Amino acid sequence: MDGRPIAIFDSGMGGLTVLHECLVTMPNEDFVYLGDTGRFPYGPRPLDEIRGFALEIGRFLERQGVKMVVVACNSATSAALADLQAELEVPVVGVIAPEAEAAVQATRNRRIGLLATEATVEAGRYASLIRSLDAGVSFFPLACPGLAELIESDTPYGAGTVDAVRAYARPLKQDDVDTVILGCTHYPLIRHVLERAFGRGVTLVFSAEETARKVAETLARKGLARTSEREGVCRFITTGEPEQFRLMGERFLQFPIVEVESVSLAGLGAPA
Ligand code: DGL
């Protein structure tokens, strides 16, 4: 039995899709969620810069006394998963491998599309993972600049988002994919918009549920699970504006968020 919390982080709201699945799978665990909204979005940034942010956050979370770090951001997983695993003492779980596996299992015509940030597409981790799982799959990656920003705007389900999603879906439909990986943790927050754009013939794959399963399995195998019967608690931290995070987070997570702590970028990097 290990009562320490599990840390989950993202550039903003997207990791809440992973937190949700973790709450469904592990209701007795405590969680610390950090949204780096002060530096959102990560997607257009160079991979080296994202790696620096992720390492800073990983070290900060470890200093909070967590038992595991979940990188609930595809851009940060692409840029920094290996570095985080090498540097941190606690286990680190990312979001890309579970999706790649699920997509290769789901496709029937062996044509898989990817919607993701510029950084994730540039890093190419999905391409190499899919190739290692089935070299016969045709893979169509597509960067979606601006989509995560639309999702964090005041009108995440507005006409701007619907138009952008339709424009990004068009080339993948022309490529005749039957499976599309939602390779950014923000995208499942507008799942209904995406489902309508692609229609019934296309399977949308996203990692939140698989990631939660992997977190639970890792805890069980390493003897780190919390066995208490009481319901877990969630702590929320942002590098941005706490009230804005609270309102947006409550709406996306459909969970009462009472308090959001603020950490400055200097505080994030400060040693214990
Ligand atoms: N949620 C983040 C991801 O999964 C990205 C959004 C962003 O910061 O650009 O890549």
Per-residue confidence band for 227, with pLDDT thresholds at 50, 70 and 90 = confident
Report pLDDT for 207. 83
Please count the CA atoms within 13 angstroms of the CA of 67 that sit on its side-chain side: 19
Q: What is the pLDDT of residues 105-161, one digit of tens each?
A: 999 999 999 999 999 999 999 999 999 999 999 999 999 999 999 999 999 999 999
Topology at the third CATH level for domain 96-207: Rossmann fold (3.40.50)
Looking from the CA of residue 116, the nearest atom of ligand 1 is 10
CB of 38 within 8 A of CB of 100? no
| Start-end of CATH 3.40.50.1860 domains in the chain | 6-94+209-268, 96-207
Q: What is the pLDDT of residues 254-270, one digit of tens each?
A: 999 999 999 999 999 87
From 17, 75, 95, the mutation candidate for ligand 1 (largest count of ligand atoms within 8 A of CB) is 75
Between CA 216 and CA 112, with CA 13 as vertex, the angle to 5 degrees is 70
Taking the centre of ligand 1 as the mean of its atom positions, its distance from the CA of residue 180, in whole angstroms, is 17
Taking the centre of ligand 1 as the mean of its atom positions, its distance from the CA of residue 164, in whole angstroms, is 16
Per-residue confidence band for 271, with pLDDT thresholds at 50, 70 and 90 = low
Taking the centre of ligand 1 as the mean of its atom positions, its distance from the CA of residue 40, in whole angstroms, is 8
From 73, 115, 121, the mutation candidate for ligand 1 (largest count of ligand atoms within 8 A of CB) is 73
Structure-token match 């950084």, residue found: 119
Please list the active-site residues.
73, 184
- Burial bucket for residue 140 (CB in 10 Å: 0-12, 13-18, 19+): middle
pLDDT exceeds cutoff 90 at 1: no
**Residue 95 carries which DSSP code?**
S
Domain 6-94+209-268 classification at class level: alpha beta
Helix residue ranges, H only, the chain: 16-25, 47-63, 74-87, 96-106, 118-123, 125-133, 147-151, 159-174, 191-198, 208-221, 242-253, 265-269
Per-residue confidence band for 229, with pLDDT thresholds at 50, 70 and 90 = confident
CB of 260 within 8 A of CB of 37? no
* Cα 83 versus chain centre, distance: 17
Instruction: Name residues contacting ligand 1 (CB within 6 A).
Output: 10-12, 14, 40-43, 73-75, 117, 120, 148, 184-186
Report pLDDT for 84. 98
- The pTM of the full predicted model, rounded to 2 decimals, is 0.96
Taking the centre of ligand 1 as the mean of its atom positions, its distance from the CA of residue 39, in whole angstroms, is 11
From 118, 186, 187, 252, the mutation candidate for ligand 1 (largest count of ligand atoms within 8 A of CB) is 186
Strands 203-205 and 138-143: unpaired
Please count the CA atoms within 13 angstroms of the CA of 125 that sit on its side-chain side: 26
pLDDT exceeds cutoff 90 at 67: yes
Taking the centre of ligand 1 as the mean of its atom positions, its distance from the CA of residue 200, in whole angstroms, is 26
Q: What is the pLDDT of residues 84-110, one digit of tens each?
A: 999 999 999 999 999 999 999 999 999
